[in-house]
């Protein structure tokens, strides 16, 4: 049976020694998050992930969810108890303001916990994950009455949340949506339509489900300008806050899918269901974007979570499996063969995943920290810089961490040889579960287009200039010999990123296909450099702790990244500069 150990120590090192988390004590919620508190919170979270969530991961995959004849959905054995433990532990409201029952702690800590939950049990972690996304949208766009009605129950975990965007004929292009909202005359609306692929749309974990649904109010403009957001509870809520009559929303069926079997993916039928507008009429997409941005970061974290758990199990197997002898002579002559971890090609694989995981974790936490600063700082300039970086990095965290997370799960599976293909070892589940993160919350090609089409040119390229400036300033401030193995390659990667950005400025405006054809390579190029920057910062912090074996290992892993992963920037740049000509030359009929 596969195992999982949440990377608590590594997370603490990143927060305390690399990212300067405690320098932000002036921000709301951060003064409560002292070193001791952070350590206690993450240790408890890690324990919950290791001891409660992970043990029901494989059973969730095997058993999946079941829809009863009456439309009720049963989650796998053990999910309810594990979910209850998660809710009882107060994890749902970790960063929700105290006035709604939460703990008001930084979102950065919540993000760390999301990684632990995703690594331990992705399917189960999605139920609270979606609830947190729904709470984020209500917090920003909900009326005070909506906040007080829904948030405390969701913080408790008594009610969960969902996000209802996708319809049978539209996923990426939400402007095509057909779900209709008709005013009831009493401030509420009647919603009618079908939503598909709704995660956690129906289940037995909570007493009520709070659906956030996008729909078009009768007579609203066509396209994205006519989309409104509604809150539609499964059970209507009585004046005293208790659960009342069943609303006109039901689960028509659940999907049989490649992975995340323990999460119910539902077709949701809205048959005149009563809903209430969240935010302004026809401004629903903007409101939903609050939820989507939060969810995009959380999905990026899922990619890292799967990469980490797959790596941990591959390492355990590689130390145990005896095959062949080391090229330099037997390492364990008393045994029939050496463990496969002696082979350079096995090492190459494990080092590649490890080097990704540690810097991806840093990037994820750094991005989450920008989210906290952008929401909590009282300094307008500081808020703006953080918001710029958050916007720029969100598609990178989503797209790169999930593309690589899946690729790493496959590589880790490879370490098991044929056994990796056999279900009982669990590696197949990691691969299957990791795959969805590349698709939902906006397929990764769309993340790349968001980066290149919206985030890059926004405000005259201010965010990218700030990022390039920050990395350059770090390199110039660390020109000593000890840092040269990190800053040298980082400078080369940065030059490729600058070259790609310049090429796009000169070649994409007049010919938009050049931008579209470059988008995915550009997203990965930025991800490679951002993680290279994280490695340089990690190296600086690790070098300050000589004699610590864990830190020595970090310095080696960081050098591996610089030598073997970061040079990929040159290939990405070459592809970008090739332009769109051959990509677009063939007529559709030629395919
Ligand atoms: C298991 C699962 C859970 C899900 N959970 C939810 C949920 O909780 N709530 C919800 O609302 N939805 C959910 N979804 C839906 C998911 O978000 C969509 O499937 C996804 O956004 C893609 O939409 P689509 O399937 O309609 O693909 P399409 O939009 O048809 O896209 C197909 C392909 O074309 C590409 N493409 C489309 N347009 C462009 C373009 N303009 N430029 C470049 N490439 C383009 C896409 O990148 C993609 O590769 C879930 C889906 C699955 C499978």
Tens of pLDDT, residues 221-242: 999 999 999 999 999 999 999 9
| Distance in angstroms (rounded) separating the CA atoms of residues 456 and 449 | 10
Residues in the ligand 1 pocket, defined by CB under 6 Å: 163-166, 171-172, 197-199, 257, 265, 436, 439-443, 445-446, 449
Residue 214's closest CA among 251, 166, 257?
Answer: 166
For ligand 1, what atom is nearest to the CA of residue 200?
8
Residue 349's closest CA among 360, 357, 337?
Answer: 357
Examine residue 466 and state whether it is found in any structural domain, yes or no. yes
- Nearest-CA residue for ligand 1 atom 4 is 197
pLDDT score for 310: 98
Examine residue 475 and state whether it is found in any structural domain, yes or no. yes
pLDDT score for 545: 96
pLDDT score for 519: 98
State in Å: Cα 381 to ligand 1 middle: 36
| Distance in angstroms (rounded) separating the CA atoms of residues 269 and 277 | 19
β-bridge pairing 208-217 and 180-183: parallel
For ligand 1, what atom is nearest to the CA of residue 444?
47
| Distance in angstroms (rounded) separating the CA atoms of residues 29 and 24 | 10
Distance of CA 583 to the CA centre of its chain: 30
DSSP SS3 for 378: coil
Kindly report the three-state secondary structure assignment for every residue of 534-582: HHHHHHHHHHCCCCCHHHHHHHHHHHHHHHHHCCHHHHHHHHHHCCCHH
- Nearest-CA residue for ligand 1 atom 25 is 171
- Nearest-CA residue for ligand 1 atom 42 is 446
Other C-beta atoms closer than 10 Å to the C-beta of 26 total: 11
Contact partners, residue 100, CB within 8 Å, separation at least 6? 93, 139, 147, 148, 151, 152, 155
Give the containing element (helix H, strand E) for 486.
Answer: helix 484-507
Examine residue 135 and state whether it is found in any structural domain, yes or no. no
Residue 208's closest CA among 200, 220, 216, 197?
Answer: 200
State in Å: Cα 172 to ligand 1 middle: 5
Token pair of 19 as six digits: 């990212």
DSSP SS3 for 250: strand
CA dihedral for 5, 8, 9, 15, sign (positive or negative): positive
| Distance in angstroms (rounded) separating the CA atoms of residues 506 and 66 | 54
- Nearest-CA residue for ligand 1 atom 20 is 440
pLDDT score for 509: 85
| Distance in angstroms (rounded) separating the CA atoms of residues 486 and 395 | 25
Give the CA-trace dihedral at 325, 329, 335, 337, to 10 degrees: 0
Examine residue 564 and state whether it is found in any structural domain, yes or no. yes
Token pair of 5 as six digits: 């150990």
State in Å: Cα 442 to ligand 1 middle: 6
Residue 364's closest CA among 331, 401, 417, 322?
Answer: 401
Number of domains in the chain: 1
Q: List phi, psi (to 5°) of 195.
A: -110, 140
- Contact between 562 and 539 under an 8 Å Cβ cutoff? The reply is no
| Alpha-carbon separation of residue 274 from 185, 198, 236 (angstroms) | 12, 18, 8
- Contact between 109 and 95 under an 8 Å Cβ cutoff? The reply is yes
State in Å: Cα 438 to ligand 1 middle: 10
Q: Does the global pTM surpass 0.95?
A: yes
Put residue 6 in one of left, alpha, beta given phi > 0 → left and psi -120 to 50 → alpha. beta
For ligand 1, what atom is nearest to the CA of residue 260?
1
| Distance in angstroms (rounded) separating the CA atoms of residues 296 and 440 | 9
For ligand 1, what atom is nearest to the CA of residue 445?
47
- Nearest-CA residue for ligand 1 atom 24 is 171
pLDDT score for 287: 81
pLDDT score for 286: 82
Examine residue 482 and state whether it is found in any structural domain, yes or no. yes
Domain of residue 570: give its range: 449-585
Angle (nearest 5°) at CA 216 between 212 and 221: 140
Residue 441 annotated as catalytic: yes
Examine residue 98 and state whether it is found in any structural domain, yes or no. no
pLDDT score for 289: 76
pLDDT score for 294: 77
Tens of pLDDT, residues 255-291: 999 999 999 999 999 999 999 999 999 999 888 777 7
Residue 154's closest CA among 117, 102, 194, 113?
Answer: 102
Q: Is 1 exposed, middle or buried (0-12, 13-18, 19+ CB in 10 A)?
A: exposed
Residues of the chain with pLDDT under 70: none
Token pair of 127 as six digits: 């139920």
- Nearest-CA residue for ligand 1 atom 17 is 440
pLDDT score for 553: 98
State in Å: Cα 342 to ligand 1 middle: 42
For ligand 1, what atom is nearest to the CA of residue 164?
11
pLDDT score for 183: 98
User: Which residue in 115, 294, 411, 441 is the catalytic one?
Assistant: 441
- Contact between 70 and 253 under an 8 Å Cβ cutoff? The reply is no
State in Å: Cα 245 to ligand 1 middle: 33
Examine residue 515 and state whether it is found in any structural domain, yes or no. yes
What long-range pairs does 66-70 form, CB within 8 A, spacing at least 24?
Answer: 66/254, 67/202, 67/251, 67/253, 67/254, 67/264
State in Å: Cα 284 to ligand 1 middle: 18
- Nearest-CA residue for ligand 1 atom 26 is 171
């Amino acid at each position: 049976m596969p195992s999982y150990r949440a990377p608590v120590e590594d997370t603490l090192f990143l927060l305390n020694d690399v990212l300067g988390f405690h320098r932000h004590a002036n921000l709301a919620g951060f003064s409560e998050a002292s070193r001791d508190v952070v350590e206690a919170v993450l240790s408890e979270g890690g324990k919950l992930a290791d001891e409660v969530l992970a043990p029901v991961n494989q059973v969730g995959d095997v058993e999946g969810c079941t829809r009863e004849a009456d439309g009720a959905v049963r989650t796998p054995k053990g999910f309810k108890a594990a979910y209850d433990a998660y809710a009882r532990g107060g994890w749902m409201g970790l960063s929700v303001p105290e006035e709604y029952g939460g703990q008001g702690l930084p979102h950065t800590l919540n993000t760390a916990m999301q990684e632990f939950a995703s690594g331990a049990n992705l399917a189960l972690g999605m139920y609270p994950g979606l609830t947190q996304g729904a709470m984020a949208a209500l917090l920003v766009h909900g009326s005070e009455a909506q906040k007080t009605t829904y948030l405390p129950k969701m913080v408790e975990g008594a009610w969960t949340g969902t996000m209802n965007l996708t319809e049978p004929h539209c996923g990426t292009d939400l402007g095509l949506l057909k779900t209709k909202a008709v005013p009831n005359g009493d401030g509420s609306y009647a919603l009618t339509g079908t939503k598909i692929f709704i995660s956690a749309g129906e289940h037995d974990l909570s007493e009520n489900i709070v659906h956030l649904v996008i729909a078009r109010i009768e007579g609203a403009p066509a396209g994205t300008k006519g989309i409104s957001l509604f809150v539609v509870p499964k059970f209507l809520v009585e004046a005293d806050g208790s659960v009342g009559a069943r609303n006109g929303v039901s689960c028509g069926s659940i999907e049989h899918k490649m992975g995340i079997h323990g999460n119910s993916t539902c077709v949701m039928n809205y048959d005149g269901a009563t809903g209430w507008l969240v935010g302004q009429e026809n401004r629903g997409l903007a409101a939903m974007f609050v939820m989507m941005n939060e969810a995009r970061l959380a999905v990026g974290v899922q990619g890292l979570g799967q990469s980490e758990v797959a790596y941990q199990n591959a390492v355990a197997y590689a130390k145990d499996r005896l095959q062949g002898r080391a090229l330099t002579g037997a390492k364990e002559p008393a045994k029939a063969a050496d463990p496969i971890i002696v082979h350079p090609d096995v090492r190459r694989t494990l080092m590649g995943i490890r080097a990704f995981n540690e810097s991806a974790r840093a990037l994820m936490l750094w991005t989450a920290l920008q989210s906290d600063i952008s929401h909590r700082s009282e300094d307008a300039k500081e808020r703006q810089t953080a918001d710029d970086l958050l916007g720029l990095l969100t598609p990178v965290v989503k797209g790169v961490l999930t593309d690589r997370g899946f690729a790493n799960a496959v590589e880790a599976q490879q370490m098991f040889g044929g056994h990796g293909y056999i279900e009982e070892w669990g590696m197949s589940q990691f691969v299957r579960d990791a795959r969805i993160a590349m698709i939902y919350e906006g397929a990764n090609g769309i993340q790349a287009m968001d980066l290149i089409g919206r985030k890059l040119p926004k405000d005259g390229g201010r965010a990218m200039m700030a990022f390039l400036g920050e990395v350059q300033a770090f390199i110039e401030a660390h020109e000593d010999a000890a840092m040269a193995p990190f800053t040298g390659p980082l400078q080369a990667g940065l030059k490729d990123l600058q070259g790609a950005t310049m090429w796009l400025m000169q070649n994409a405006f007049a010919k938009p296909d050049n931008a579209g054809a470059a988008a995915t390579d550009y997203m990965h190029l930025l991800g490679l450099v951002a993680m290279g920057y994280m490695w340089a910062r990690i190296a600086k912090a690790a070098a300050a702790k000589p004699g610590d074996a864990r830190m020595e290992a970090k310095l080696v892993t960081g050098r591996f990244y610089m030598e073997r992963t970061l040079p990929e920037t040159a290939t990405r740049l070459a592809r970008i500069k090739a332009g769109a000509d051959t990509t677009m030359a063939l007529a559709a009929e030629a395919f």
